[in-house]
Amino acid sequence: MSLGETLKKVRQQRGWTQQRVATGLCSQSLLSAIEHDRYRPNAQLFMALCRRLAISLDQVSLAQGVTASPTAAVNRHLEQLCNRHEYAALRADLLAPATVAQVLTAAQTQAYYYYLGVAEFQVDPSLTAAGDHLRLAVNLGRRCQPLTTMTRLSWAAFAVVTQRQGRPQAAKRALMQATTGIERAAYEKNLNIVFYLAALMTCDQPATATHWLQRGIAFATQHDTHYLLANDYYLLAQLAARQSDPAGQRDAWQKSQFLTDLFHEKVYRSTGLSEF
């Protein structure tokens, strides 16, 4: 069932008119065009319509008629902003009317919602938008086997958000989705991020978080890459301090500093570890 058909079916089941659903969101004529699949809503309007009609995000396949905002461009620039932890700029770029490129494919749309969810997580303490956008990113990859790197990233980021929302069981399920079989997956450097996010999610259990970081460091070393290692060791130093391990803290800190100086990797120091 297409997006338009889903919206129309739910609206009619509720006995609501198009005008009632559209009020404050869009014109009645625009909603009619969406319901008849003559117009594809952007991300903001799509989310608003789903909330108004209480449609679960699991009910809708984004590949069936939803485009990312025409202002968004999922490209190397967005990845660079994310890697440099410039989340306010990342969010602004994703939402800025001046952005030229249009995201059309399912893969591009999934990447768009992943980056938007990550940016929202960092700049919006309510976590509502972050959770919604990351769930959309997850849903786009549900049917793809084996899991793509972007789907694993989306699951891992969703795990962090649900943990912060006080939903530990949902977080554990999401993390399992992100990490199952990861060592056997075709290697891409962004898989290193999954281990880092797993550590962030489990920071209230320092031994578990340390295990995830050590596993991530071994994974990166096995594939002969330094990507994210400075951040891994920085977080490892923080965890060692929490476990009253000054020798471990000093060793991890020195390695983080060495890698930062050598490869000029920016270390994200606002890990939120103090919140746990």
Tens of pLDDT, residues 143-159: 777 899 999 999 999 99
Rounded to two decimals, the pTM is 0.74
Domain boundaries, the chain: 3-59, 197-276
Inform me whether the pLDDT recorded for 100 exceeds 80: no
> Class of the 3-59 domain?
mainly alpha
DSSP string, 204-258: TSHHHHHHHHHHHHHHHHHTT--TTHHHHHHHHHHHHHHTT-HHHHHHHHHHHHH
Average confidence (pLDDT) over 98-110: 60
Average confidence (pLDDT) over 191-205: 95
CA separation for the pair 7, 134 (Å, rounded)? 21
Average confidence (pLDDT) over 65-83: 57
| Confidence band of 274 (pLDDT split at 50, 70, 90) | very low
Average pLDDT for the chain: 84
